[in-house]
Structure 1
Amino acid sequence: MNTNQEFEDLFAKLANGSITKPELSRLLILLDTQNLDNDLIQKIKLELKQPTLLEDTERVKDIASKARNNIMARTSPTIKGKSRSIYRPAVWWAASLILVGGLAIQYFKTTNQNTPATTNQQATVQDIAPGGNNAVLTLSNGETIVLDSTQQQLVSQEGALKYDGGKNVLSLEDSVYNLTLATPRKCQYQVLLPDGTHVWLNAESKISYPSRFDDNNRTVSVEGEVYFEVAKRQGSKFIVQLGNGHQVEVLGTHFNINSYSDFPSIKTTLLEGSVKVVSTDKTTVTLKPNEQATQRKNRSTITVGTVNTDNIIAWKNNKFNFEGLRFEEIMSQIERWYDVKVEYQNEVPDIEFYGEIGRQNSLLYVLKVFENSGVKLQLKGNKLLVY
């Protein structure tokens, strides 16, 4: 386990009151591995270590409030007409660590004093685990295979389908099969196509491809969000069909396509190489690295802009990145990854978020980010209510 992951795991224990004293000591040590100013690290350590805090709950609250205001002042510029909250990963961890520090200290205080448990039990909200590796493979004859959730990649080779560890999935005959790999909600998967192209599928996505490509043409079709690292093959185009006449043509490149059915636009983002985006009326635009083409599904026009590609492919690296996204777009990611239904009780909040948080965290853990910004959320079963 890397130090960042260990830090997050220990922090989660701190937040829910299950951390032990040795784990708290380890957490304090791991603070040095975070990307924070040294002065800030020392302040956090000092505040969590002060023995006087054990007897002074009000002082804990005062320190937490001042520390949070100090951190947010460093990171939150004012934007005219909007409230904008910035949550850079390490800074958010630090602010949250100070905010829940009082809870952890209070936990140790009551534990040491052997305080009896209260008889007024509050209703607990059932948490929802994050998604993971899973997918369903459908053959041209309609046969379906649920892939091994302990694996993360399907390898398509002539004559066979295997997991990347070598375990056989299916033996194919010499004839060409049409294959469809689909990820339900709460699922992601990878596939190595017959030509060596590496593909990542986000939740609720799909790719259809042949078990063997022609020498001069490689064509696949996708739905949802898919990231490609296309293998170069001289003289052989790689074509991604997006439905309704939209498609992307490449020779060898790295790019991301977002074409979820409930989004009004198709977004193609180029990281490396070159791609040609083709609209319904055959209008074409060639992208350069760090450019994104946006196509309205009911129009033929294509607009191009420069983007931060790290934000676009954060999902591929098992992270949420909220930079520049509308609140509805963020909630769509939450819906797909945790398989919940978001319901707005009032108007959609007009708030923008920045920063990243790992997708390996539970839903309630992720929701703390939004609650700290003033958005009220309530989880009822598989419904997420936004007030």
Structure 2
Amino acid sequence: MDHSFTSAEDFLHNDSFLRYCMGLDEKEVLWWDNWIQEHPEHRAHVDQAREIFHAINGQQGQLHAAVGHFRVLLKEHAAQTATQEPATQTPPVPGQQRRLHWWHAAAAAALLITAAGGWYQYSRYRSQQQIAAGTHLSEIQPGSSRAMLTLADGTSVPLDSTGAGRFQEKDGTRINKGQGTLTYDNDNNNHGEETVLFNTLSTPRGGEYQLVLPDGSKVWLNAASSLRFPTRFTGKDRTVYLTGEAYFEIAPNAGQAFYVQLNNGQQIAVLGTSFNIMDYEDENATQTTLVTGKVKVTLPGGQQTLLAPAQQATITKGSDRIAVTDADIDKTIAWKTGTFEFEEDELPAIMRQLARWYDVRVVYAGTIPTQHYSGSIRKQATLSQALRILQTAGIHYSVTNKTITIQTSSN
């Protein structure tokens, strides 16, 4: 074979090299192993290309047809690269955005930083067994489907993603437990009992869970969140109480308006719609994002606004003003579909999301970085995989037990 390679990208455009990366043909693997041995000057580019390949392709052992699929991914990435400014290896000035590209590979956290005509990734850091002297990075696993259901009498029922079961509240409400989902029997809405019991579904840090309410409405509860709700919806409305973050798909019922009540007195009125609410105590604002339908946001002081689809209402804590902007729906509800999405976000905002999912504590040694970051990372990644992005962004960290210390360059 006659090859001329001057960069990792050249290798990635070669079908034979791609099949070598997949390990599909023993003869081809042997040929490339020999070629690499005979051309040590290309070793760095080969290693870099293989890292990138496995980050994008995600798995080894694909069929030959996967070569074509990989080339499509590569072409899409190259087109995206051409529209971006060249990356530099010098730290950005304060306030500057640093664009990062995280690929959803099997490792779930392999980072690619693109630059005009070249590829850079984190392989230069692989040899680092310790991030800081004397610090060992434990393999902290990602969150999972787990929660606690508190019944009306205070009984706590632990929930996880395994097995199925059925139990009953004192008012006769039948509750079905599936894999990561709790479903309330909607037949109970027709019962005429005067007393309505309330249950609370709570997720810990590192947990999430799905819930089907008695009216058929669906709720996805994010980590460190809780939803208090009645076992039956009676009367003129359907009201639930949220802390943390949840995504709702509300079953239409013109005769019963649906309300979400927040701890700060804010109320979301709903009419057959899907939307996301984020109201964590450690965030400086509450955000309601409408996907479909209509919602009305009302503050304790009476201020109101009606949202249209793809709009977001943001209320800064301590403020009586509702700011309405166009929403990035994909980013807002990415957590529901297994991904963290960031777009021009500051590091503390990113770390708060990771801290809730991995159930860790984050502290900063020195000045908190002011750069902005964009990218995505799969929630299936282990903590060590997820944190590799910090290294490539010029941020140093150490992990002790379940505490992450961010160390800025000034320290």
Query: What TM-score range do you get, normalising by the shorter chain?
Result: 0.7 to 0.9
Alignment deviations for residues 250-291 of structure 1 (CA, whole Å, 9 cap, x no partner): 111000000001112110000000100001211110011111
CA distances 1:314-351 after superposition (whole Å, capped 9, x unpaired): 10001111123221111001111111111111212222
2:100 alignment counterpart: 86
The within-5 A match list for 1:338-349 is: 338-349=358-369
For 1:29-60, what per-residue CA distance to the aligned partner results, in whole angstroms no more than 9, with x for missing partners? xxxxxxx9996474972885632334666632
Q: Which residue of 2 aligns with 1:193?
A: 213
Query: Could you say if the C-alpha distance between residues 216 and 103 of structure 1 is closer, same or farther in structure 2, counting changes exceeding 3 Å?
Result: closer
Aligned with 2:44: secondary structure?
A: helix
Distance between the aligned counterparts of 1:167 and 1:283, measured in 2? 36
Are positions 1:331 and 2:331 aligned together? no
Q: Which residue of 1 aligns with 2:43?
A: 60
Q: Which has the higher contact order (CA 8 A, sep 6+)?
A: 2
* Whole-Å separation in 2 of the counterparts to 1:277 and 1:378: 42
Structure 2 partner of 1:359 = 379
Letter in 2 for 1:87: H
Deviation at 1:227, TM superposition (A): 0.5
CA deviation digits over 1:328-377, x for unaligned, max 9?
11100111111111111121222222222210110001111222222212
Task: Give the direction of change, closer, same or farther, for the CA distance of 1:46–1:134 in structure 2 (3 Å limit).
Answer: closer
How much has 1:148 moved relative to structure 2?
A: 3.4
Distance 2:184 2:293 in 1: 34
Query: Post-superposition shift, 1:312?
Result: 0.4
User: Any unmatched runs of 5+ in structure 2?
Assistant: 1-8, 22-28, 53-76, 87-91, 114-118, 128-133
User: Which of 85, 101, 104 lines up with 1:77 in the alignment?
Assistant: 85
In structure 1, C-alpha distance between the alignment counterparts of 2:387 and 2:219, rounded to whole Å: 30
TM-score, normalization: structure 2?
0.70
Does the C-alpha gap of structure 1 residues 124 and 327 become closer, same or farther in structure 2, counting only changes over 3 Å? Answer: closer
d(CA) in 1 for partners of 2:341, 2:391? 17
Aligned partner of 1:45 among 10, 15, 18: 18
Measured against aligned partners, the alpha-carbon deviations of 1:146-205 in whole angstroms (never above 9, x if no partner) come to 113326999999721112479999999965211110000100001100111100000000
Specify which of 362, 368, 383 is matched with residue 403 of structure 2.
Answer: 383
Q: 1:74 to 1:181 in 2, by over 3 A?
A: same
* 40 and 230 in structure 1: CA distance in 2 versus 1, 3 angstrom threshold: farther
Kept in 1: contact 2:182–2:212 (CA 8 A):
no
Q: Distance in 2 between matches of 1:102 and 1:348?
A: 25
Q: Taking structure 1 as reference, are residues 367 and 100 closer, same or farther at Cα in structure 2, changes over 3 Å only?
A: closer
Indicate the residue corresponding to 1:236 in structure 2: 256
- The amino acid of 1:135's aligned partner reads A
Would the alpha carbon gap of residues 47 and 285 (structure 1) be closer, same or farther in structure 2, given more than 3 Å must change? Answer: same
In the aligned structure 2, how far is the partner of 1:363 from the partner of 1:327?
A: 16
Q: Partners in 2 of 1:193 and 1:367 — Cα distance?
A: 36
Structure 1: 5+ residue stretches without partners: 1-35, 107-121
- Structure 1 pair 373/199, CA: closer, same or farther in 2 (3 Å)? same
Give the aligned partner of residue 241 of structure 2: 221
Residues paired across the two proteins, number: 335
Contact 1:190 1:199 (C-alpha < 8 Å) held by counterparts: yes
Instruction: Give the TM-score, by structure 1 length.
Output: 0.75
CA distance in 1, matches of 2:254, 2:293: 14
Does the CA contact (< 8 Å) of 1:57 and 1:102 recur in 2? Answer: no
**Structure-2 residue corresponding to 1:252:** 272
User: Which stretch of the first structure deviates more once superposed, 172-181 or 345-354?
Assistant: 172-181
Structure 1 distance, partners of 2:165, 2:331, is 23
1:278 match: 298
Q: Is the 8 A contact 2:137 2:398 kept in 1?
A: no
Residue 303 of structure 1 is matched in structure 2 by 323
Q: Is the 2:215–2:233 contact (alpha carbons within 8 Å) kept by the matching residues of 1?
A: yes
Alignment of 1:127 with 2:139, yes or no, is yes
Q: Which residue of 2 aligns with 1:29?
A: none
CA 218–152 in structure 1, closer or farther in 2 if over 3 Å, else same: farther
Is residue 2:176 matched to residue 1:162?
yes
The 8 Å contact of residues 334 and 340 in structure 2, kept in 1 or not, is answered as: yes
Check 1:184–1:63 CA distance in 2 against 1; reply closer, same or farther (3 A cut).
Answer: same
Contact 1:64 1:98 in 2 (8 A): no
Q: Distance in 1 between matches of 2:180 and 2:381?
A: 30
Aligned residues: CA RMSD: 4.0
Aligned residue runs from structure 1 range 110-125, under 5 A? 125=137
Distance in 1, matches of 2:227 and 2:20, equals: 51
Question: Structure 1 counterpart of 2:43, which letter?
Answer: V
Q: In 2, Cα distance between the equivalents of 1:169 and 1:294? A: 31
